[in-house]
Amino acid sequence: MMHTARLRSGRVLGVLAPLLLGSSLASTYQVQIQRTSYGIPHVRAADLGSLGYGLGYAYAQDNLCLLADQVLTVRGERSRYLGTADSTIVGFQQVNNLDSDFFFRALIDLPALRRAYQSGPPEHLHLMQGYAAGYNRYLRDTPPGQRPEACRNADWVRPISEDDVMRLLEEKAIQASAGSLVTAIARTVPPGAGAALPAPDLAAFNAQYRLNDLPMGSNGWAFGAQATENGRGLLLGNPHFPWQTTNRFYELHLTIPGQLDVMGASLGGMPIVNIGFNRDVAWTHTVSTDKRFTLYALHLAPGDPTRYVKDGVTRPLRRRTVIVEVKDGDRIRVQSRTLYSTPDGPLISLPQAGLNWTATTAFALRDANHNNTRMIATWLDIGRASSVQGVRRALDQQGIPWVNTLAADRSGQALYADISSSPNVSAAQQARCTPPALAPLFKAAGLAVLDGSRSACDWAIDPASKVRGLRAPEHMPALIRQDYFANSNDSAWLTNLNARIENLDPIVGDVNVPQRPRTRMGLTEITRRLNGEDGLPGNRFNLGNLQEILLSDRNFTGLLLADDAVKLCQAEPKVTLASGEAVDLQPACDTLARWDRRSDLPSVGAYVWREFWRRASSIPGVYAVPFDPADPVNTPRGLNTADASVRSKLLQAFGDAVALLKANHIAPDRPLGEVQGVIRNGVRIPLHGAPEFEGVLNKIEPPLLNEQGYVGVVGTSSSYIQTVTFDEAGPVAQAILTYSQSADPASPHYADQTVLFSQKTWVTLPFTPAAIQADPALRTLELSE
C-alpha cells in the first residue's frame, strides 16, 4: 500500500479537500493532523477510520512507550518480555507482571468482543482499525533506534491490531470492577491447593482495595442560565486521575466535516473524546458511587469443591488452564494456572474479607462492565449532541462504564445523570439475597454478596434495559435544570441542594450520610457565589470567576476546624508523645494561627495543618457537632476539645505532626510551594493543592513527607481541567493539562503545561478553523495510506 506524508509549518488552509485530492485516490486512510500550542493535535478526516488513523499516529508521537507498555499488559505478555520481577498498575492497583498476565489472558474474552463489535455499526470497527493502523504507521516511520529512550530498541514495541484496541477499551471498562481485584482473581485456587489463609482483616482489605473510596475522583460542575452571567451554560471538568500510566488524559480535537467536531481529552488508548465539548454542549464525568459488580456466594456440592448447586441442580465450575510465557534469562519458559469460573464470572478469593474458597463455599464475581462494547457509540453520540437532552439520549445506550455525567449547553440547560453500567439489584433484593453473615461487608468494605444458590438472586431483568441484568436508564438518577449541579464523587443525593435525590438503591449510592470534604467545599463555593458572599463582583458565574474559585485552593477542613486547633495548642503548647519525646508545639501553633486557610504556593502553615489533620481526622468522636442530614454542608463541624479523651488524642496528633517535620528537617513556617512540587528534567516545579482528606477542590496527592518535602511521584490528582461556556459563535473553552501532553522527557510537551498549572495560567483552546490557523505554533502533517 502506498504511504505518503507531508509536513508543513506555519499557517495552512484548514480544509480537507486539498488533502483528499493530493494523495492516492486508492488510499484507505487520509488525514490531516494540525498541531497547535502545547502539542494539541487537531485531527481532520472524512471518515472515522481515517480519524482513528490520525489519532493513533498523533498519540504514538507523544506517548509511544506508554501505549506500547499498556498493550503488553492487556495482551498478557508482560512476563514474556519484562520478566516477573517487575510490576504494573491495573485498575489503580500495583500488580506484579505474572498476576497481571494471568488475569488478562483469563478475563478478556476476545471472541465475544469481536462478535459484539462486528454486529454493531461498521464505522466503530473502522475507527479501531484506523487507530491501530496509525500507531503502526508511526512505528514504520520511526526506526527503533530513534524512538523515545524508555522503549528505544525494545523488542516489546510491536505493531498492534484492532484486537488490541478492543483489549485496551475492555481494560478501561473494568477498572472499577474486576480490574480492581486482579490478584484476588488471578491467584484463586481450590481449597487445599494453596498456603494457609490469613485471618480476616477488613482494615487491611480497605487499605488495599478501597472499594468504598476508589482512588480516582473528580469535580464536575454544570451551570444553567439561572446561575451564569451570560445566561448560557457553563461547565467545569476537573478529573483527579493518575499522573502516570495510560490513565493520563490526552488533549485532542476530532473533526469529520458535517458529522463530528469535538474537542477535549481522552484516556490513553481510547480513540474517542471522553471529556469535552462541541459547538453547542460541554460535558464532563466524575467517578460515581455505583457498585459495578456483585459477588455470588456459591454452595458447593458435598465432597467436590469444583461443583456448585443452584436451584437444586449440581453444576460443574468452568475450568480453564491459562498459560503465560515467562522470560528467564535468555530463554522463555511457560507457567500455567488453572482458573475457575461460572457463567456469571470468575471465582475470586478475598481472605482479608473472609471470603475464601472452602470445601462448602466459593465466590464468583459478576461484572457489569465485562464486554462493554457500547462505550464508543455512547461517547461518539455525546460528541455529536447539540443539547443536554442529546447527551441524555446518548447515555441511554448504557455505555458509560463507571462515572456520572454532567453537561451544560449554549441554551442554558444543565444536566446531571448517573446513567452508567450498574447491576439491577434493588434494596429489597439485596436485603433478601445477602447471606446474613455477609451483610456487614457491604457497608464496611463495599462488597455486595448475593446468594448464588438461587436464580431469584440473579440480577433482575428489566425490559427497559438494553443490557441483560443492568439497571435501566429510566431508573437511574438524572435531572435537567437551569441552576446548577455539582458532584465530587459522593452519591447523587446532593448534586443540587434544592433538588435532593432521595430514592437511591444502596448499589447506586447512599443518602443522608456525611459527605466528603470536597463535596462540602464545592457546594459551599457555589452557594457563596450565588449568594454574593465570596467577595467577587456580582452573584453569578462566568469563566473567570469559575477558574478563580477552583484554583483558589481554599482548604475546607482548615476553614472549618483550624481555629479550634489553634486554641487547643495555645492553651497546651507542650505535649509528651507516646514514645516519651517532649514536643514544643508553640512554633507550629503560631504558624497555624497565621495560616490563610489555603493550600496555595505562598500559604504558610498549610502542611502543618495537613500533618495534624492526617492524624486527627480518624480520632473517634473528633467532631463537636455531629452530622445532621438536614444540614449536610455544615455538619459535622468543630473539634470536640471538651471531651478529655479526644482532647488528649488531638494534642498527640499535633505533637506527632511537629515531630515528623523536625525529623525531616522542615521548619513549620515555609510556604507550601517550597515544600510541595514535582521534578521535570531536573527542574523543580512547585505545586499548589492538597490531598483528598483536606477538602481542597484542586486535589493533589503527593508522596508522603520526606526530607525533600512532598516531592516525587504524584498520584491521583487534578489532571485535565476544562472550563467551557458559549457565545454567539460557539464554545469559549480554556483548559490545563496538569502533567502536559507527553510522557517522554525529551518532548517539548513534557512539562510545558505543568509550569502553566503551577502558575495558574490557562490555555485557550482553538476550536474553529480560524483559531487554529491563527495559532503561532501551528504545524500541519498530512498522511495517507
pLDDT at 7: 61
When pLDDT is averaged across residues 511-518 and rounded to a whole number, the result is 98
* Percent of the chain with pLDDT strictly greater than 70: 96
pLDDT computed for residue 3 by the predictor: 63
Q: How many CB atoms lie within 10 A of CB 21?
A: 9
In the residue annotation, 426 being an active-site residue is answered as no
Q: How far apart are CA 459 and CA 282, in angstroms?
A: 34
Query: What is the rounded distance in angstroms from the CA atom of residue 313 to the CA atom of residue 361?
Result: 16
Residue 537: predicted pLDDT:
87
In this prediction, residue 23 carries a pLDDT of 37
Q: What is the pLDDT of residues 92-122, one digit of tens each?
A: 889 999 999 999 999 999 999 999 999 999 9
Q: What average pLDDT does the segment 313-324 reach?
A: 98
Q: What is the DSSP string of 146-188?
A: GS-GGGTT-TT-----HHHHHHHHHHHHTTTTGGG-HHHHHT-
Cα 637 from Cα 630, distance rounded (Å): 14
Residue 10 scores a pLDDT above 50: no
pTM: 0.96
Q: Is the pLDDT of residue 282 over 90?
A: yes
Tell me which of 218, 387, 411, 422 is the catalytic residue.
218
Please state the domain extents for the chain.
1-176+214-292+368-424+459-553+716-785, 186-212+293-367+425-457, 556-696
Dump pLDDT digits (tens) for 642-689: 999 999 999 999 999 999 999 999 999 999 999 999 999 999 999 999
Supply φ then ψ for residue 465, to 5 degrees: -95, 135
Give the pLDDT confidence of 28-78 residue by residue, as tens digits.
999 999 999 999 999 999 999 999 999 999 999 999 999 999 999 999 999
Convert the pLDDT of each residue in 732-743 to its tens digit: 999 999 999 999
Nearest to 379 by CA among 270, 223, 257, 470: 270
DSSP 8-state code for residue 359: S
The predicted structure's pLDDT at residue 4: 64
Provide the pLDDT for residue 19: 38
Residue 317 gets which letter from DSSP?
Answer: P
CB 221 within 8 Å of CB 484: yes
CA–CA separation, 769 and 774 (whole Å):
9
Q: pLDDT confidence of 536, banded at 50, 70, 90?
A: confident
Q: What are the pLDDT digits (tens) for 338-384?
A: 999 999 999 999 999 999 999 999 999 999 999 999 999 999 999 99
d(CA 163, CA 165): 5
Rounded Cα–Cα distance for residues 141 and 369 (Å) = 36
User: Rounded mean pLDDT of 205-218?
Assistant: 89
* Coil/strand/helix, residue 484: strand
Tens digits of residue pLDDT in 731-780: 999 999 999 999 999 999 999 999 999 999 999 999 999 999 999 999 99
Res. 611 pLDDT band, cuts 50 70 90 = very high
Least confident of 161-165, 190-194, 297-301, 623-627: 190-194
Tell whether the model's pLDDT for residue 412 goes beyond 90.
Answer: yes
Pick the CATH number of 556-696 from 2.60.40.10, 1.10.1400.10, 3.40.50.10800, 3.30.2130.10: 1.10.1400.10
How do residues 572-603 score in pLDDT, each as one tens digit? 999 999 999 999 999 999 999 999 999 999 99
Q: State residue 370's pLDDT score.
A: 98
Res 20 pLDDT > 50 = no
Stronger pLDDT, 429 or 22, i.e. the higher one: 429
The dihedrals phi and psi of 237, each to the nearest 5 degrees, come to -120, 125
The CATH code of domain 186-212+293-367+425-457 reads: 2.30.120.10
Task: Tally helices (H) and strands (E) across the chain.
Answer: 22, 35
**Does residue 463 register a pLDDT over 50?**
yes
According to CATH, the superfamily of the domain at 1-176+214-292+368-424+459-553+716-785 is: Aminohydrolase, N-terminal nucleophile (Ntn) domain (3.60.20.10)
Beta bridge partners of 408: 282, 414
Residue 680: C-alpha distances to residues 60, 149, 174 (Å): 21, 15, 32
pLDDT in tens, 258-269: 999 999 999 999
β-pair type (414-417, 478-481): antiparallel
- DSSP element (H, E) containing 35: strand 30-36
Q: Residue 487: left if φ>0, alpha if ψ -120 to 50, beta else—which one?
A: beta
Residue 276 Cα to chain centre, angstroms: 15
DSSP annotation of 349 reads -
Mean pLDDT of the chain: 95
Write out the three cell numbers for 319: 475450568
